[in-house]
A and B are shown apart, each in its own frame.
Chain A
Amino acid sequence: MPDLGTYATEVLSAYAVSFVLLVAIVGLSWRRARRVKRELEQRDG
């Protein structure tokens, strides 16, 4: 862990929120993709 000095809160919160946002968009896209794929397979099958 590098020494972040006085601005540790800012830097860490920026990283944390960005990760949350990235994980959220990837996760949501992924979940929806899987759900829709399953539904289509049922319909076609």
Chain B
Amino acid sequence: MSLWEYANPRKFMAWTAPVLPWAFGLAAVSLTVGLVWGFFFTPDDFRQGSTVKIIYLHVPAALMAINAWFMMLVASVIWLVRRHHVSALAARAAAPVGITMTLMALFTGAVWGSPMWGTWWAWDPRLTSFLILFLFYLGYVALWEAIEDPDTAADLTSVLCIVGSIFAVLSRYAVNFWNQGLHQGASLSLDAEENVADVFWFPLLVCIAGFVALFVALVLLRTRTEIRLRRIRALDARSARA
């Protein structure tokens, strides 16, 4: 029995059905624990005051925004190489979740930046690359929506995802280059994970686990929906022919 058998739509539906409630349960528990711990039981940072509490939303959301795209990239490659329908549908299912995470990271970042940097938005490399990532997500979803035939759409969006990944990485470094040219030594970004103290670190870890679990749960749920939709379409096509 190889790993690929789990990608058979019927098998996928069978094994995800029991996993799904667990994934949602795990996400709910760890998010509740992490956020309550972070919000109520951690001290304020001596420089940032209470805004440090935003970290429990911002960092996991940003992490998942990037990982969601990475997961879509892997799924796209699998679809192009092995033609597993579930893989293409999973990539499609992940995109709106990724958009949500990106929006969340951008918003919480802006809200944090407003008292800390004195501005909602700065053309800092990190912020700018996230905005670009957001645009990539939008284009990807728009292409899925625009094409009627599901296999054509899966192929084209996969190609777009791969090309987009290359350009996203390229943009990330290009943006670095551009900003150094503008105002050098922009030390606005707080590299959270490296200089965060243990009091903040443990609840943050729980929150990250919660976001991962939530992402997995949502992608499974949405992939199941896509598989069912595909089946409905197939039934429609059959009855149209009969």
Contact = CB atoms under 8 A, between A and B. Distances in A.
Given A18-B61, A39-B232, A11 B100 contact: no
Chain B facing A: main interface SS: helix
Contacts of B61: 18
Interface in B105-144: 107-108, 111-112, 114-115
A26 B217 CA distance: 9
Interface stretch (B3-11, B79-87, B194-202, B223-231): B223-231
B57 interface: yes
Nearest to B108: A14
A7 B167 CA distance: 38
B144 to A, nearest CB: 15
Interface string B160-182: 00000000000000000000000
A14 B218 contact: no
Given A10-B115, A14-B112, A33-B225, A22 B50 contact: no
B145 interface: no
B53 A11 contact: yes
A28 B53 CA distance: 27
Interface string B62-92: 0000000000000000000000000000000
A29 B98 CA distance: 13
Contacts of B151: none
A21 B111 CA distance: 15
Given A14-B57, A14-B108, A2 B228 contact: no
Contacts of A5: 44, 49-50
Contact of A10 (B112, B221, B224): B112
Given A17-B111, A32-B222, 7 more contacts: A5-B44, A10-B115, A14-B108, A15-B35, A33-B225, A36-B225, A37-B228
8 contacts: A2-B39, A11-B53, A21-B107, A29-B96, A32-B222, A36-B228, A36-B229, A36-B232
